């Protein structure tokens, strides 16, 4: 796993997300110059502590964490709430308020 191609680029993009804001995987992917799947792969394999992976959510605002990792999902939700991110009753992020305008 030394290639990391987009790995580093994606990490740097995610690091620039301000606290209290979120980005969709597609948004990160666009800025990093790759596709949404690669962004998801990068988040799934992130191992550095300075990467706020919890600020990356699905384009529809849902916290998508595969393999039914409920604990991880709740962790993400908790971290976001600490930063002032508000959630709707559907357990999804209020994108209109917190999504970063990259374009």
| Contacts (CB under 7 A) with DNA, residues 33-92 | 34-41, 43-44, 46, 53-54, 56, 58-60, 64-67, 72, 76
Please state the separation of Cα 61 from the chain's center in Å: 10
> Which of these ranges, 32-40, 84-92, 94-102, lies near DNA under the rule CB under 7 A?
32-40
Among residues 10 and 86, whose Cβ is nearest to DNA? 10
Name the one residue in this structure whose structure tokens are 């990160």: 28
- Rounded CA-CA distance 56/70 in Å is 16
Q: Is 9 in the site for DNA (CB under 7 A)?
A: no
Phi, psi of 9 (to 5 degrees): -60, -45
């Amino acid at each position: 796993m030394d290639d990391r191609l987009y790995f580093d680029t994606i990490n740097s993009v995610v690091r620039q997300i301000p606290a209290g804001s979120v980005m969709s995987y597609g948004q990160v992917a666009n800025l990093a110059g790759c596709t949404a799947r690669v962004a998801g792969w990068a988040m799934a394999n992130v191992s550095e502590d300075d990467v706020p992976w919890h600020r990356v959510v699905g384009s529809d605002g849902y916290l998508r964490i595969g393999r039914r990792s409920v604990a991880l999902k709740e962790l993400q939700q908790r971290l976001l709430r600490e930063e002032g991110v508000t959630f709707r009753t559907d357990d999804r992020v209020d994108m209109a308020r917190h999504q970063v305008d990259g374009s």
